[in-house]
Structure 1
Amino acid sequence: MPDDTFDLIVVGGGAIGLSTARNAARRGWRTLVLEKFGVLNNEGSSAGASRQFRLQYAQHYMAELSLASQNFWAELQGYSQNTLVRQNGSLWFGDPDLDSQEGGIAAAEKVMESLHIPFTRLTAPQIEARFPFKALPKDYEGFFQANGGIIDLKSTEEAALNAALATGRVVIREWEPATDISESGRGVEVRTVHGRYHGARLAICAGAYVNETLKPLGLSLGIDIWQMSSAYFALTEPARHLPTWFVFQDPGDSALFYGFPEVDWAHPGYARVATDFPDKILTDPAQRSYAPSTKSLGLDAQWVREHMTGLDPMPRFTSTCLIALAQNSSRELLLDYTPAWGRAHSNIVTYTAGWAGKYIPIMGDMIVRMLSAPETELVYGDYRIPLDRFSIDWTQTN
């Protein structure tokens, strides 16, 4: 095979792109990854050190996908000496009647019951007795699910990179953004500032940069790009058991927050607490500011001061990240075949949007399965994942 010809070209070398390349190479496909920046960068959804892993979802199929992902996480663990998912549990609490981008407490409980996922219901006093929270409204309720935990994101990316390179079939080009995509007799031609490459298949895994990548195809999709702030807070006393957590409360009153326990891979002696709302909503990743919002950090510090014990409420190690979210609120993730050049193509798949850190190992497999043969659902043991739940509302731009 010529040096410029591949079985698969992946545009985007973040966590999902690397997972896709690894899964393709395992099938014997010679794979090229084109990355706009360097691999393991902090320019998009892979920014930061940690992500939450959870089984609970308000949607049955999303919880099934989380359950199915566990075997893929266990397999990827073999490529890292660090623990990729630390199982310290997941706590959801707050107003049980409220929903958010994360789902809702009551709806998630119904899904867990139907899938026989164990969990423990808790009242506000019980939450305060077991975990380092205080002064919660007395009508707050929640649950603890023991299989949830915290993802070491950078170790996961490194494991996906190591696994891809170990196949001997993956070529990675850093600092080489795709500038043009066109149809060719060999499938798809992708041009960059350094050359042109031919692929039988194409996977677009560009995250917040997806519409920039799709421009040559005359396509765009509806996403909002959230710039979000987070901070770490110093432990002031020996840490009580703190799981990953999310609080559901009226955003008109005090906004939404989520957090992580202390970990050894990011600022030991500190716990991370983040806001679950955007500093601002962008239309282009180039609009990003690396400085967190003063207002967001102030609300973050206020939550810690009023409702957490054992933490100094002064924000430290502050940062921002970009998260692409579907404008269509019925779509948790966007994953679809790409209707390029006026017709549908089973050899081009686009993925973007959603809180997908927990799906890194299985998402690459999903994309490769779709590129192997036309699919309407993906079967993982007892779980059937309908792809129409992730379909994209495409817009023609020319």
Structure 2
Amino acid sequence: MSEPTDHLVIGGGAMGLATARQLASRGASVRLLERFEAHHTRGASHGSTRNLNNAYDEPAYLDLFDEATTLWRALESETRTELLGLHGLVTHGDEGVVASAHDALVARGAAVSLLSADEAGTRWPGMRFAGGALFSAEAGIVHAARALAALETSAIRHGAIVERGEQVLRIEPSANDARVRVTSRGREGGIRELVADHVTVAAGAWTAPLLDGLIELPSLTVTEEHPAHFAPRSASIPWPSFNHLLPPEPLASFAAPVYGMPSPGEGVKVGFHRVGETVDPDARTFRASDAQRATLRRYVTEWFPGLDPDSPTEISCTYTSTDSGRFVLDTVGPITVGAGFSGHGFKFTPAIGRVLADAAMGHSTPPEFFRLAAHGAR
């Protein structure tokens, strides 16, 4: 017998939980299915911290950032959990990108300033700077693990049903609804079928195979990334969150941007952006190559005098990236998809949940910047 619901959300990471929370808070019946246990390490949402980074010049991202900050604060108030740490963000390296982000943020009234390399180095002696730096006072970190727990607590409080150990095998859309075949760990009989008026897929690295033949998605590349926490040489050194936008010259040996942030109790997180090997998310090594490890250590040695380069605690996570780095947010028939967050989506989580819930309920379409047509798909 089929189990009916208004909305079925597939994927219990940050985006799925935020969507379920939004839908449930509006009075819809919502069931969320997640294949793995809470706070599992196989996807992209786990870990203690994420960059709360507003160093963008595209209005679509800045709109999401402003909305997300407001919604994070509302979730903090509801769950009585501190989710944001606004110690600031410093962005440096590519002066053109720095200037463009500065101008866009100033136009929106954001609290930003431009610092010389000497000024930045005096303020943050644990880091080295070459060229000017953009400081954003209204940025910092999201406490990611706390955020997942708060989103789930709120979703359940509003009536959402969260089920773990549920692997979706197939989605069969029709004109008015969708049938979903699920294999359930620990359930007698194993296989069950659910029927939903609408299905929202926020399945991270598993999105493309799940929607194969149903929605024409842009290319979604799954990579395994390996940032690491490094120990500060002194507890007295102040740390901002940071973006280092490495230009091709004279720093060609580090051919990727770097991001990072202080992670309370763990050190300072440092990682290259989108350098990992393409992987099957079900067949990962959970280990960086020796070459990747050596390159990250060398980078920390050169650019972070306040960190011990011989103290890395390695992390493993997946990126699911579009070629452009833009997200995919759209609806086709009874299916809404949120995918391709490309390593920079977490800070926008509650705003993306709102966008996906609006789309799933037919209230509005996502911003054109993120829709399938903008990716050349449909």
Matching residue of 2:310: 314
Matching residue of 2:30: 31
Matching residue of 2:369: 389
Residue 222 (structure 2) pairs with residue 225 (structure 1) = yes
Q: TM-score, normalised by structure 1?
A: 0.85
Deviation of the 1:133 alpha carbon:
4.1
Contact between 2:49 and 2:263, CA under 8 Å: does it hold in 1? no
Label 1:189 to 1:3 Cα distance change in 2 as closer, same or farther (>3 A): closer
Q: For each residue in 1:73-98, what CA deviation from the matched residue of structure 2 results, as whole angstroms up to 9, or x when unmatched?
A: 1111135454211111010011313x
1:123 & 1:68 partners in 2: Cα distance? 31
Contact between 1:80 and 1:155, CA under 8 Å: does it hold in 2? no
Deviation of the 1:55 alpha carbon:
2.5
Q: 2:320 aligns with which of 318, 321, 324?
A: 324
Deviation of the 1:253 alpha carbon:
2.9
Matching residue of 1:144: 135
Question: Helix, strand or coil for the counterpart of 2:227?
Answer: strand
Q: 2:269 aligns with which of 259, 269, 272?
A: 272
Label 1:78 to 1:293 Cα distance change in 2 as closer, same or farther (>3 A): farther
2:81 & 2:363 partners in 1: Cα distance? 36
Q: Which runs of 5+ in 1 are unaligned?
A: 98-103, 339-344, 378-386
Matching residue of 2:335: 348
Question: Helix, strand or coil for the counterpart of 1:43?
Answer: coil
Residue 366 (structure 2) pairs with residue 369 (structure 1) = no
Matching residue of 2:348: 359
Question: Helix, strand or coil for the counterpart of 1:238?
Answer: coil
Deviation of the 1:64 alpha carbon:
1.7
1:151 & 1:45 partners in 2: Cα distance? 14
Residue 327 (structure 2) pairs with residue 333 (structure 1) = yes
2:376 & 2:254 partners in 1: Cα distance? 36
Label 1:376 to 1:262 Cα distance change in 2 as closer, same or farther (>3 A): closer
Contact between 1:229 and 1:292, CA under 8 Å: does it hold in 2? yes
Question: Helix, strand or coil for the counterpart of 1:33?
Answer: strand
Residue 100 (structure 2) pairs with residue 111 (structure 1) = no
Deviation of the 1:136 alpha carbon:
3.7
Q: For each residue in 1:2-56, what CA deviation from the matched residue of structure 2 results, as whole angstroms up to 9, or x when unmatched?
A: 9811110001111110111111111111111111212322211113221011223
- The worse-fitting range, judged by mean Cα deviation, of 26-35 and 303-312 is 303-312
Contact between 1:257 and 1:300, CA under 8 Å: does it hold in 2? no
Please tell me the residue identity of whatever aligns with 1:189: R
Matching residue of 1:248: 245
Contact between 2:14 and 2:148, CA under 8 Å: does it hold in 1? yes
Label 1:221 to 1:332 Cα distance change in 2 as closer, same or farther (>3 A): closer
Question: Helix, strand or coil for the counterpart of 1:313?
Answer: coil
Contact between 2:32 and 2:161, CA under 8 Å: does it hold in 1? yes
2:161 & 2:2 partners in 1: Cα distance? 10
Question: Helix, strand or coil for the counterpart of 2:300?
Answer: helix
Contact between 2:202 and 2:339, CA under 8 Å: does it hold in 1? yes
Contact between 2:274 and 2:319, CA under 8 Å: does it hold in 1? no
Matching residue of 2:145: 154
Instruction: Percent identity, please.
Output: 22
Please tell me the residue identity of whatever aligns with 2:209: E
Q: 1:305 aligns with which of 298, 301, 305?
A: 301
Contact between 1:279 and 1:293, CA under 8 Å: does it hold in 2? no
Label 1:369 to 1:44 Cα distance change in 2 as closer, same or farther (>3 A): same
Matching residue of 2:170: 180
Matching residue of 1:65: 64
For residues 164-243 of structure 1, what are the structure 2 equivalents within 5 Å?
A: 164-167=155-158, 169-184=159-174, 187-193=177-183, 194-215=191-212, 217=214, 219-243=216-240
Label 1:6 to 1:152 Cα distance change in 2 as closer, same or farther (>3 A): same
Contact between 2:14 and 2:349, CA under 8 Å: does it hold in 1? yes
Matching residue of 2:186: none
Deviation of the 1:296 alpha carbon:
2.0
Deviation of the 1:161 alpha carbon:
0.6
1:180 & 1:259 partners in 2: Cα distance? 38
1:3 & 1:158 partners in 2: Cα distance? 30
Number of equivalent positions:
363
Label 1:245 to 1:129 Cα distance change in 2 as closer, same or farther (>3 A): same
Question: Helix, strand or coil for the counterpart of 1:177?
Answer: strand
Please tell me the residue identity of whatever aligns with 1:288: R
Contact between 1:124 and 1:136, CA under 8 Å: does it hold in 2? yes
Deviation of the 1:240 alpha carbon:
2.1
